[in-house]
Homo-oligomer: A and B are copies of this chain.
Amino acid sequence: MNVYTFIEEMERLAPPDLAEDFDAGKIGLIVEGEPEFSTVCCALDATPAVVKEAIRQKAGMLVVHHTPLWTPLTSVTGSTAALMRDVLSARMNLWVMHTNYDHAEEGVNDALSELLSLSDRVPLSLGLVGSCSITPDEISRRLGCPLRIWGDLTSVNRLAVVAGSGFDPALLTEAKAGGAGAFLSAELKHSVYRSTPLPCIEATHYALEAPAMKRLAARRGWHYIDDIPMLRTIP
């Protein structure tokens, strides 16, 4: 496949115009490699392990959700130098789709909802509220990560889900007004918890966003490379 054809397809899937302003210059073709390639790999993050595995699979293109060059660079040292050396030497392209994918139809929240079998979905300004017929234990099992339950969780009948770091006071209020009985996302801050109008189910950022990349890989015949954070709870 040619990189220009690939770019066209990707921009149809997750149009750059949908991205938040803070993603300017941080999505799309982030590292340019060979213009022609046959194998595409996909992952949530371009970690060293993911990159090495993609190279081992002779990928000409690696598609990820989070750019490894978030902070603008004026020098290339340490782990960044190692990563860039691997990617550039292998002439592997690196494609990032971040908030443009979050906002796209069939994006991260849609894949997450599918995984949790949410029905009767109503969109929020970010994420959505849907009817949930599985238990928190089953949510944990499907996501593949332990959960932290904040507050008095009595019902997940109507569940708000926001993939990524979505515990925002305004979103919580919107979800409550939209009939949600609980809110599932990642990275809850103390100050937000203190005034939350809903019980919060805190998963990992990875567990909430990886399903979309996995599903995308499956649909397009790419190789998904998993790199699950190592996490356990005590007690």
Question: Which residues of chain A have a CB within 8 Å of any CB of chain B?
Answer: 25-26, 28-33, 45, 47, 66-67, 69-70, 72-79, 81, 84-85, 88-89, 91, 136-137, 139-140, 146-152, 165, 186-191, 193-195, 204-206, 229-235
Contact between A76 and B47, CB atoms less than 8 A apart: no
Contacts of A79 in B (CB 8 A): 195
Q: Is the CB of A29 within 8 A of B190?
A: no
28 contacts between A and B (CB under 8 A): A25-B74, A25-B75, A26-B75, A30-B75, A30-B77, A31-B76, A31-B77, A66-B191, A69-B73, A70-B74, A70-B191, A72-B72, A73-B73, A76-B88, A84-B84, A84-B88, A85-B88, A89-B89, A137-B234, A140-B234, A146-B234, A146-B235, A148-B232, A149-B232, A149-B234, A150-B231, A190-B229, A233-B233
Given contact pairs A187-B189, A190-B205, A77 touches B233 in the complex (Cβ within 8 A): no
Cα A85 to Cα B87 with chains together (Å): 9
User: By the criterion CB–CB under 8 Å, are B150 and A75 in contact?
Assistant: no
Within the oligomer, what is the number of copies of this chain? 6
Minimal Cβ-Cβ distance residue in B for A96: B75
A30→B140 contact, CB < 8 A: no
Please tell me if the beta carbons of A84 and B76 are within 8 angstroms of each other in the complex: yes
